Amino acid sequence: MAGQNVTTFTDANFDAEVLKSQVPVLVDFWAEWCGPCRMLGPTIEALAGKYAGRAKIGKVDVDTNRQLAATYQIAAIPTVMVFKGGQVVKTFRGLTNEATLSSALEGAGA
């Protein structure tokens, strides 16, 4: 489901791609069966295009990456987290609009 600018984050690559990233990272915790998650998809795609080169935008499928879901205590999806310097700086639960997510990325230095 990830587009060309949207990275797929997994248990295996999360440390390198997100926690050690030199730029802010927006992570969408989602699942294929989740209607609101699918509704958020176009917003994530738009952000990935808008912030290409300035931030990483990606998705974590909570069904196939259960360790990450547990680590970040994902109790409801979609949950979007913005990371900077390996730390969570913003968390959004439920459908969130592009302007709100853009503002969080800008605040993290994107």
Which one is catalytic: 2, 23, 31, 34? 34
Residues 6+ apart with CB under 8 A from 97: 43
Residue 89 annotated among the catalytic residues of the structure: no
Which one is catalytic: 37, 55, 68, 80? 37
Instruction: Answer for the pair 104, 82: CB distance below 8 angstroms, yes or no.
Output: yes
Residue 37 annotated among the catalytic residues of the structure: yes
Q: Is 93 exposed, middle or buried (0-12, 13-18, 19+ CB in 10 A)?
A: middle
Instruction: Tell me the sheet residues that pair with 92.
Output: 80
Q: At which residue do the structure tokens 């990325």 appear?
A: 105
Question: Which residues are known catalytic residues?
Answer: 34, 37
